Structure 1
Amino acid sequence: MTPQEIEALFTRADGSFLCARWGRPIVPVVFGIEDATLPVVKGAIEAVVALAGHRMAETDPELGANLMVFFFRDWAELPQVPNLDRLVPGLAGLCTRLEAEGANQYRAFRFDPDGAIRAAFVFLRMDDHLSAVPAETLALAQAVQIILLWSDRAFAAGAPLVRAGEAVMLRPDIAALIRAAYDPVLSAVAQDRSHALRLAARQ
């Protein structure tokens, strides 16, 4: 992947560049799925975290769980979740907007004082489209999209996954980029476009 291609993945619609990774171990919790599907979702998260060379933990000392994944049928369900509006300010208004837009997914991040990812919230409205996606594929796609703070339009032109025969796997160039972004020599947060050059050199 060229430095220009990498830069585009972290350049937001407003033209600003921002690349951030997790600064603490990831502690996931999943709501709204059957017990049989839970290992699939957590397995995908564990695989991407291992790929990055990052860590998982049993609990976050501050938040308990810092990666929350919600599966549901209607955006109106989320504001009914106790205390969720304290974790995601403006939740009711957000859900109203997403419902009006016909959105089926949304990701929100929280950050430590240094700008590293502190927590992430993944909301998946299981409409006909998402319901048709195999659980393994859906879980892997979400794990990839929370391991780094990608641009809001990073994967508009092409998904981070690729089909290999009957299996779906992470694109090799995206996998290499994730590993590079977690190089301990690099800062956890970068707002300078030259960071793309450093990532390209480490692929």
Structure 2
Amino acid sequence: MQPSEIEPLFTRADGTYLCARWGRPIVPIVFGVEDATLGVVKGAFEAVCALSGHKMAETDPELGANVMVFFFRDWAELLEVPDLGRMIDGLEPMVSRLQAEGANQYRVFRFDETGAIKAAFVFLRMDAALSAQPAEELALSQVVQVMLLWGERAFAERSPLGRLEDGRVVLRPDVAALLAAAYDPVMPPVAQDASHALRLSARVGSAG
């Protein structure tokens, strides 16, 4: 991947560059699904963490679980989740805005004192479009999008997933290589300068 391809993936709506990765092991918890789907989601986390070189854990010493994935049918359901309003600042206006937009997914991140990711909340309103996706495909797509702080339009025009000849859905090789490069121990956990895209490109190229 060329720097010119990487830079837009981490460019915010205001034109600034920001890439952040997790600064601690990931501990996911999933709400609103059956046990079979729960296993699929956790399996996706395990696969993407293995690919990127990041770690998972049984518990987060500060938060217990640090990735909360919610499946639901209506945004208003979030207002009934105990204590969620304490964890998400401005929960009610957020729900109102997402309802008005007709959104079917949203992600909220929390950061530690260095700017690295320390928690993420994934909200999935299971409308017709999301419900039509196989669980494995939906889970993999969502996990990729919480592994790094991507730009708002990083995957707006092209999914991070690809399909093999046998029909299996996998991470696109370029996205997989980019994740591994971003989690390279020599790379900073947070970058706010577009020159970071040059360093990522060099590592993606050397890995290839």
TM-score range, shorter chain: over 0.9
| Residue number in structure 1 paired with 2:197 | 196
Return the alpha-carbon distance in structure 2 between the equivalents of residues 182 and 61 of structure 1: 22
Correspondence for 1:11: 11
* Per-residue deviation, 1:157: 1.7
Cα distance, 1:79 vs structure 2: 1.0
Stretch deviating more after TM superposition (173-182 or 162-171): 162-171
Task: State the Cα distance separating 1:146 from its structure 2 match.
Answer: 0.4
Deviations 1:106-153 (A, max 9, x none): 000000010000100000000011000000000000000000000011
Runs of 4+ deviating beyond 2 Å: none
Match of 2:177 in 1: 176
| Other structure's SS at 2:35 match | coil
CA RMSD in angstroms, aligned pairs only? 0.6
Q: Percent identity?
A: 71
Question: Which whole-Å CA distance do the structure 2 matches of 1:114 and 1:144 have between them?
Answer: 22
Measure, in 2, the Cα distance between the counterparts of 1:37 and 1:192.
39
> In the TM superposition, what are the counterparts of 1:128-143 in structure 2 within 5 Å?
128-143=128-143
Q: Secondary structure of 2:153's partner?
A: coil
Amino acid in the other structure paired with 2:14: D
Mapping for residues 95-106 of structure 1, pairs under 5 Å: 95-106=95-106
Helix, strand or coil: the match of 1:37? helix
Amino acid at match of 1:202: R
Q: Which residue of 2 aligns with 1:186?
A: 187
Unaligned runs of 5+ in 1: none
Q: Aligned partner of 2:189: which letter?
A: A
Secondary structure at 2:36 match in 1: coil
Q: Structure 2: which 5+ residue stretches go unaligned?
A: none
For 2:130 and 2:93, the matched residues in 1 are separated by 23
Shift of 1:155: 0.7
Question: Could you state the TM-score of these two structures normalised by the residue count of structure 2?
Answer: 0.96
